[in-house]
Amino acid sequence: MKSHGINTTDCDVVESEEQAFNLATTMFQNGAKKVVVKSQIHAGGRGKGSFKETGFQGGVHLADNAKQAQEFARAMLGNHLVTKQTGPFGQKVSKLLLEASVDIAEEKYFAILMDRKSKGPAIIASPEGGMNIEEVAHTNPNAVRKVPINITKGITDSQAYEIVDFLGGSDPTTRDGNMEQIKNLYNLFTSTDATQVEINPLIVGKDRKFRAIDAKLNFDDSAAFRQKEIFGMRDVTMEDARDVQAAKFDLNYVGLDGSIGCLVNGAGLALATMDVIKLNGGEPANFLDVGGGASAKAVEEAFKLITSDKKVNAIMVNIFGGIMKCDVIADGIITAAKNLDLKIPLIVRLEGTNVKHGLELLSESGLAIIPAQSLDEAAKKAVQAANAYAATKH
């Protein structure tokens, strides 16, 4: 944001309590009145969260001196912060953001998002920023303004002024500078292939100047090839290792809490498969879409991901072959089952392109594969097999 001319704060990331003490010392020497110590995890609600191991309250704290910043760092680093977005296990805090406090006169909300209705970017702004912006939008919709931006023309002076005036930043002495901030934020949005730039709060300081002191930015994955610096900042330690591995083979994987592993082609079919499993009394262990162009190697990797979950008691494969050919899937299934020495029950339903050849390959493989003709039949057999296998574990 600084490289795009946006007013921010004096801040940096630390990974130890010693680094926190040294950085905070420098910030206080440079005139900071307080230093914010903020847990860096991929979840919201950090300020209201608590640490699983110690019960320490809050993943965001204000330190009055360097020693206190160090104490906060000691209480947070290495422990799991549980918030309303993390689930009961929380996320491990391995990094902290230290930020010099600023004098805040007012808190505003500002965001740029891709808007389907206007078929382009739209600025969303509210003079009532802060932690409860969702409640503001619900109870006082007039306090939220949406300004669609023409993607080919970009943001105009009149639009920038409209936003600045709505946010109460049109004091004659700072108006032009604040308009420039809005334009710089829009330039950040377009030049980085962002899909979201959300500033909450965008503060008005006592000097009446806009400053971004907290932000959430999302970027278009399809633009990774030209946004290498941004995507190089990705912190895979904050992600499920299975999700990271899946992405290497262009697999869409999301781990769930059930016992029936799913391997499906197509997101819609995957969701339908999960629904039918639940309708038959089972629980899916994952969402896994191998897509339309997966190779036999990718299918094998998909099996590795599924079987890495120790809760899985059966695997259900549901393929509707279009671009993805059934014989390719069958070949991948056979290779994976043999290489992994698969013991878990395997239920397979194939339909579509080259289905006859695919079924022949499975039949001749010598593997104990449970065939199914329909989605409902496959789900019933998967639930039965999972329950039977679970009983053998005990």
Tokens of 210: 């806009």
186 is catalytic: no
What single DSSP character describes residue 32? -
Residue closest to 314 by CA, chosen among 394, 250, 392, 246: 392
* Nearest C-alpha neighbor of 303 from the set 346, 355, 365, 269: 346
Q: Name the one residue in this structure whose structure tokens are 């991901």.
A: 305
* Residue of 99, 107, 109, 301 marked catalytic: 109
Residue with tokens 């943001």: 155
The yes-or-no answer on residue 198 being catalytic is: yes
What is the bridge-based pairing of β-strands 346-352 and 314-321?
parallel
* DSSP class of 250: T
| Collapsed DSSP state (helix, strand, coil) of residue 230 | helix
Instruction: Answer whether 325's CB lies under 8 Å from 290's CB.
Output: no
Q: Greatest CA separation found in the chain?
A: 81
Residues in the chain: 394
Q: Which residues contact 169 (CB under 8 A, 6 or more apart)?
A: 108, 175, 178, 204, 208, 209, 210
Q: Which of 99, 106, 198, 301 does the annotation list as catalytic?
A: 198
Active-site residue list: 109, 198
